[in-house]
Structures are given as structure tokens and as C-alpha cells.
Amino acid sequence: MNTYLHNYTHTQQGRLANYCRTGELISIDGLTENRVHYYRDLVYNVVDDTLQSAFPLTFDLLSEDEWNEIVHYFFSTHKCRSNSIWKMPHEFYLFVDGNDLDIKKKYNFIEELLLFEWTEIEIYMMPDVQYPEFKSNGGWLSEIITVNPEHKILQLSWPVHLKNPGNITVDNKNEYYVLIFREKESGKVQFINLSVYFAWLIEKIEIEKKPLVKILKEAESLFGIEAKKLFENTIPFLEELNSKQFILGFRK
């Protein structure tokens, strides 16, 4: 009896969910048909509002028709897997990334724009990571630098973090890196444009956990830049990252 009730309820709920997505109504027991469209409107509006809030740059870039078309297509054909509404934008990004859509031909950077906007949400909502023990003062060259663990570096082909998306052209395609991290105290998410060298440097500092003087020796060989120039360019950048709360200090 319990199994019957469970299966029956599941079937009715599934039919209502399918109607909300597709607009195709299959008989649902106890339903008032002239009112059921309110359910679909309500659910769609929640989806649309969530995506507009998650992707403000993308929403501003697209025309009203373009936005409505892609959201309707996502809403009617994609069965969301997550039960957390804040994770739905990630599924939207994956949906756009994994489907052959006309809009990707017009805006060939749209996948990276969605990824950039989603990553800001992901970093903001990520579970707290235990910070390493560190001291505020130390020697840049001789000691091991500690960094904020709540971060991600994106490698991009388009400057979606630097330019208004409406001003991006084919001539802007290049190699870009952006550091995205969450401030410990405020929870605010910051992003910083990186050169290839500084993206490499941050990863080296984080992964290898060895004094900067040794990392610069490797950089001198890898990038073909003399040690003095590396030092002159690197220390001010590290000081800036320290002031922005990405570099925490030095390992105790």
C-alpha cells in the first residue's frame, strides 16, 4: 500500500514537473486545468530570475529575444539534477557549453563569459577552507609565502573579465588569466588579471611551497628574464596581492 502511494504520488508530481518544463499537459488527478498554467509561470519566473541574477553580464549582452529563447530552451529540455537553486546556473553554463546553439556562433566568447560569472558564484558559495598558519611579516625572498586557499585561476581565450562583453571582437582573442578569490573577513569575491608569468608564479608558490628565491631561479630559466628584472617586477605585485588579502603572509 505504501509503495502504491509512493509510486502514484511520484507519477503525479512527475507529470506536473514535465508540464512546468514543456507546457505539454498529461492528465493529472485533481488538477484544475484552467489554473495549472500559473504553476508553470511561477516556476519559469524563478528560473529566469535566478539566471538573470547569476549572469548579469550575459543578460545585458543578449537581446530580450535571445535571452528568452535560450532560457526557454534550457527550461523545457534540461532536467536539473541539483536540488539547490543556487547551483542551477552551473547547469545552465554546462547546457550552453554542451549544445550546438546559434547564439554561440554570434557570441563566440559566451561560454567563457558564463564560466567567469559562474566562478564568482562558486567561489562566494564554496565551503570554508582551513587557512594555513602564517605570520604577517617575513622576507619575500627567503621565506615560504602563504596564499588564500579560497581561490581559482581561470585560463581564458577572451577578455571577459576586462572588457564590456559588447565590445569584445575577434581581434581580442588571446591568452588571458584571471585570479578569483574570496576575502576571508568580508566574504567579498575579488578578481585580478594576471600575466602568464604571474599565473605560473602563484601556482608555483601554492603547490611547491618553497622560498621565492628558488622559484625565481626557475622562472629566470623558463621565461628568459634576468633575475634582477624578475625581482623588480615580482615584489611589487606580491605586495599588491598582500594588500588585497590574497597573500596572507609567510609560513610559521
The residue extents of the domains of the chain are 2-125, 134-251
CA proximity to 56, closest of 151, 152, 120, 125 = 120
- Whether the pLDDT of residue 30 is over 60: the answer is no
pLDDT band for 144, please (50, 70, 90 cuts): very high
Print burial letters for 64-92: b (CB count within 10 Å at least 16), e (below 16).
Answer: eebbeebbeebbeebebeeeeeeebbbbb
Determine the Cα–Cα distance for residues 62 and 24; give it in Å rounded to an integer: 28
**3-class DSSP state of 63:** coil
* 248 neighbors 131 (Cβ within 8 angstroms): yes
Cell for 94? 554546462
Determine the Cα–Cα distance for residues 216 and 227; give it in Å rounded to an integer: 7
pLDDT band for 16, please (50, 70, 90 cuts): low
What is the phi/psi pair of residue 211, to 5°?
A: -55, 150
CATH fold for the domain made of 134-251: Outer Surface Protein A; domain 3 (3.90.930)
- Whether the pLDDT of residue 130 is over 70: the answer is yes
pLDDT given at position 174: 97
Determine the Cα–Cα distance for residues 17 and 25; give it in Å rounded to an integer: 10
Please state the pTM of the whole predicted model.
0.85
For 72-101, write each residue's pLDDT tens digit: 999 888 888 888 899 999 999 999 999 999
Cell for 225? 628574464
For 164-218, write each residue's pLDDT tens digit: 999 999 999 999 999 999 998 899 999 999 999 999 999 999 999 999 999 999 9
Query: 19 or 100, which is more confident?
Result: 100
| H helix or E strand, kind and range, residue 226 | none
Cell for 97? 557549453
* 48 neighbors 71 (Cβ within 8 angstroms): yes
**3-class DSSP state of 225:** coil
